[in-house]
Structure 1
Amino acid sequence: MDFARLRTLRELSLRKTMAAVAEALLISPSAVSQQIAQLEDETGIELVERRGRGVRLTPAGQRLVDHAGRVIGILEEAKTDLAELKKTVAGELRVSAFPSVASSLIPRAIRAISVRFPDLETIFEELEPDDSLAALRAWQADVAIVDDLTASASLSETQVEMLHLLDDHLYVLLPPDHPLAERPHLTLPELATERWVLDTTSATYSAVIVRACRDAGYDPIINARCHSFEVVRAMVEAGCSISINPGLRGRDYIGTLRLKEIRPIITRRMFVAFRSGERRNPAVAQFVNELRNVAASMTAPH
C-alpha cells in the first residue's frame, strides 16, 4: 500500500474534513479525495463515509488507520535512532506553541539554536494546546508548548512526554484611569459589575475565564468577543471593557494599561511536549534545552 495515501487517511481520521487535511499536508482538497479513492481501490473496501462537508471512517478505515499509525511510528523511531547515532543537530524541526507563550519564548529559542546549529531549520506554527498535541500525535510537530489550563484533559497522554517549563499567572487588564487601577491586586468578586472583553481565539481559554467568574458567584457581563489580543487591548484602552490576560503576554504588550494580579492567584503551568522517546533525537534535545534556558531567564510581571 502507498505510504503517502496511508498518511492521508490517518490525517483524515484526526482532522475530519478534506479541507483540513489539505491544509495540513499542503495539497489540494481534490488531491486528498483522490488519494483516499485510490487507497479504497487498492484495498478493495470502503474506508470513509462522506457526511456533508465532513467524513467518518468506516470500521475498515479505522482498522487501517491503526495499522498506519504503528507503521509511521516505527519509521519515526528509525529516524530518531539514526539521528542519535549521527549525533548531529541538523535537518528540520517543527515547533508549535500558543500565542501568549510563543511570543515570549519561541523567537529567543529559535534565534539561540540557529546560532549554535546553523544546519538545523526550525519551522514554527502557532497552535492552541489541544491542536499542538494533535500535531504531535500526527507527526506534524516535533516539539510543542502546552499548558494545564487549556489542555488539562490531554496532559496524561501516554504517547507524549512533558517537561515543566514555567508557571504564569493570570492578570486583570484595566485602562489607566480605572477606579481600581491603583490597587496592588484584585479579587474576581470585585469585578462582578464590570464589562468584559474576551479573546475567544481559544474557546477553552475563554471558558476558563467564564468558569472562574462563575466560581466567584457571577456570570461576567461580556460586551465583546475578539479573535486577537490587539482588539482586546483596544477595547480596554478605550475604557469599554476590562479583560483577563496571561502575565507573559501582558508584560510585553500592555502599553499604558494597568496589569493587576488576581487574588487568590490563578496559575497556569506550561510544559514542553514531545513524542515519547524522541528526546534521544539531538535536535529535539537541544531545542528543549534552549526553551528551558529561556524559560529560566524569565520572570512574571508585578
Structure 2
Amino acid sequence: MDITRLRTLRELARCGTMAATAESLHLTPSAVSQQVAQLEREADVALIERRGRGVVLTPAGERLVGHVERILMVLDEARSELAQLRSEIAGELRVAAFPSIAVAVVAETVRALRAAYPRLEVVVVELEPQESLGALAAWQIDVAVIDDLAVELNEKHENYAQIPLTQDLLHVLLPTDHPLAARDGLTIADLRDEAWALDSTSSSFGEFITNLCRRSGYAPRINAHCAGFEMVAAMVASGNSISVVSGLRLVHPLHGVTAVRLLPGIQRGVFLAYRKGERDHPAVNVFLDEAVYTADKVLGQPQSNV
C-alpha cells in the first residue's frame, strides 16, 4: 500500500470531510477522493462511508488507520536513526509558532541555529496552536509551539509529546497617560468602561479575553478588531483603546504604552510539541534544546512595565 495514500486516509479520519482533508494536505477534494478510492482497490475492502457532507470510516478503515499510526511512527524513528548517521546536522526542519512566541523566542532560536549549523534550514510557519497540532499530525511540520489556553494538552497523547518552554503572564496594555497606568495591578472588572482593541487573528486568545470580561459581568466594548498586534499597540498608544496582552509582547520595547500586571495573575503555559518517533532526530533535538535555552535567556527575568 502506498504510504501517501495511507496518510491521506489517516488525515481524512482526523478531518471528517473531503474538503477539510484537501485543505489540510494542500490537495483538491477530487485528489483526496481518488487516493482513497485507489487505497480501497489495493485493500480490496471499503474503507469509508459517505454520510451527508462528511465521511466516516468503516470498521476496516478504522483498523487500517490504527496500523497507519504505528507505521508512520516507525518511519519517523527510521528517519531519526538515518539522520543520526550523518556527520552533520543538515536538512529542513519546519516549525509552527503563534506570533507572540515567534517574536519573543523562535526568531532568536533560528538565528542561533543558523550560526551553529549552516546546513540546517529552519522554516517557520505562523499558525495558531490548534492549527499547529493539526499540521504536526499531518506531517506538515516537525515542531509545534502551543499553549494551554488554546489547546487542551494531553501528556499521554499517543502520537506527540511535549516539553515546557515558558510561562506567560498576561498584562493590561494602557496609554502612558491613562489614569489607570499608575496602578500596580488591575482586574478585568477595573476595565469595564474602557474601549478595547483585540487581535482578531488569534481567535482563541480573543475568545479567552472576551470570556474573562463576561465572567466579570460585562461584554467588552471593542472599538478595534485588529489584524495583528502592531495595530493593537498603535490603537493603545494613540489613546483610543486598552487591551490585555501576552507578556511575551513586552520583550521588545513598545512606545507610548504602559503594561500593568493583570490581577489575579493569569498564566498560560507554552510548550514545544513533536512527534514521539522523532525525539532522537538530531535536528529536532537541537531545536528543542536551543529554544528552551533561548526562552530562559530572553524571558528569565520578570516582565516589567514598559
Place the TM-score, normalised by the shorter chain, in its bin: 0.7 to 0.9
Secondary structure of the 1:169 match is strand
Q: Give the drift of 1:172.
A: 1.0
Matches within 5 A, 1:126-275: 126-252=126-252, 254-275=254-275
Q: Does the CA-based 8 Å contact 1:251-1:301 persist in structure 2?
A: no
Structure 1 gaps of 5+ residues are none
Matches within 5 A, 1:57-76: 57-76=57-76
Mind listing any 5+ residue stretches in structure 2 that lack a counterpart? none
CA RMSD of aligned residues (A): 2.6
Amino acid at match of 1:7: R
1:166 & 1:263 partners in 2: Cα distance?
Answer: 20
Give the counterpart letter for 2:64 in structure 1.
L
Equivalences for 1:8-47 in 2 at 5 Å?
Answer: 8-47=8-47
Q: Assess if the C-alpha contact under 8 Å between 2:170 and 2:266 holds in 1.
A: yes
**Cα separation, 2, equivalents of 1:27 and 1:79:** 25
Report the secondary structure of 1:255's partner residue.
coil
Q: TM-score, normalised by structure 2?
A: 0.86
1:75-115 deviation per Cα after TM superposition (whole angstroms, max 9, x unaligned)? 11111122234463122212111111012211211121122
Of 107-116 and 270-279, deviating more is 270-279
CA–CA separation in structure 1 for the residues paired with 2:114 and 2:165: 20
Cross-structure match for 1:118: 118
Equivalent residue, structure 2, for 1:290:
290
Q: Work out whether residues 87 and 282 of structure 1, in 8 Å CA contact, stay in contact via their aligned partners in 2.
A: no
Q: Calculate percent identity across the aligned residue pairs.
A: 48
Q: 1:197 to 1:54 in 2, by over 3 A?
A: farther
Superimposed CA distance per residue, residues 195-251 of structure 1 (whole angstroms, 9 cap, x where no aligned partner): 323223333222321333344444433444444223333433444432111011244
Q: Partners in 2 of 1:66 and 1:33 — Cα distance?
A: 20
Q: What amino acid is the match of 1:260?
A: V
Q: TM-score normalized by structure 1?
A: 0.87
Counterpart CA distance in 2 for 1:85 and 1:53 is 47
What CA distance in whole angstroms lies between the structure 2 residues aligned with 1:18 and 1:237? 45
Distance in 1 (alpha carbons) for counterparts of 2:206 and 2:84: 41
Evaluate the alpha carbon distance shift between residue 234 and residue 56 of structure 1 in structure 2; reply closer, same or farther with a 3 A threshold. farther
After the TM superposition, which parts of structure 1 deviate over 6 Å for at least 4 consecutive aligned residues?
none
Q: Distance in 2 between matches of 1:143 and 1:196?
A: 33
Alignment deviations for residues 23-72 of structure 1 (CA, whole Å, 9 cap, x no partner): 44344443223212222333344333445665443443333222212111
